[in-house]
Amino acid sequence: MKQFLNSLCLAFLVFGCSNSPVDVIPGAENPDNIEIEGTEGGVNLFFPQENALCNLGTDVTPTESTVYFEWESNGSNTYKITIENLFTGNIIQQETANDIIPVRIDRATPFKWYVESVKGSKSDRSPTWQFYNAGPGVQSYAPFPAVIVAPNMAETLSTRNSVTLQWTGSDVDNDIVGYDVYFGTQPIPNIFASGIINNQASVSVASGNIYYWRIITKDVLGNTSESGTFQFKVQ
């Protein structure tokens, strides 16, 4: 059945990539409070591929296209797919009994997505993949927003004099040249360091403070992306 669906979908694919006809949900990743077991292991994502450029879609317009999301899993009654626009933070969620589904999403836009395979009150969740949906005439794409590794959002750390900020970066063009780190005690932090090549930076901290930080990723052509602002507290 899956091979038939794949063949049917691929027969209509053309170059391109838009916003879904389903409602955009600005909410949480697990709004139904479903018990999740086997996180990042029960579902294998297939397409769009991780950290890749998606240039296959249907219903192409200058601003959007329909992309077929595909994954593999065994023994599930239903699947719930979650797709987040990394520019706007808007979230699309849709349920299906199949392991392939068409969704309209914006073109020239980065996304991340994952799938939960639901069986009764329990579910398995796939890893989270990110990809860039191709746009017309675009020759170079901005890097993906940096993914924060540590400290975690709103984490409370024991008393110490310094903290190592850690993140990861990726780019479909593979041309990242550095990162700008913004850090401080203000909700809109000032620049701390510019053009860092490594994916970490050591910062001085003091107990009793809340710190805010964000990462700007830059590529060789001057394209940039923002991680969003994160915070942590030092006891």
- The HSE-up count of residue 35 (CA atoms within 13 Å, CB side) is 5
Domains, in order of start, for the chain = 2-133 (2.60.40.10), 147-234 (2.60.40.10)
Higher pLDDT, 90 or 6: 90
At 24-78, the pLDDT tens digits run 433 334 444 443 344 444 799 999 999 999 988 777 788 999 999 999 987 778 9
pLDDT, residue 176, reads: 96
At 50-65, the pLDDT tens digits run 999 998 877 778 899 9
Residues in the chain: 235
Token pair belonging to 10 = 């691929």
Side chain identity, residue 220: V
Read off the pLDDT band of 193 (50, 70, 90): very high
Mean pLDDT across the chain = 84
User: What are the angstrom distances between the C-alpha of 87 and each of 77, 132, 144, 170?
Assistant: 32, 11, 10, 15
Q: Are strands 122-125 and 35-36 parallel, antiparallel or unpaired?
A: parallel
Mean pLDDT confidence for 4-24: 40
At 110-148, the pLDDT tens digits run 999 999 998 777 778 999 999 999 988 777 899 999 999
pLDDT, residue 36, reads: 39
Residue 17, pLDDT > 60, answer no
pLDDT, residue 31, reads: 42
At 165-184, the pLDDT tens digits run 999 999 999 999 999 999 99
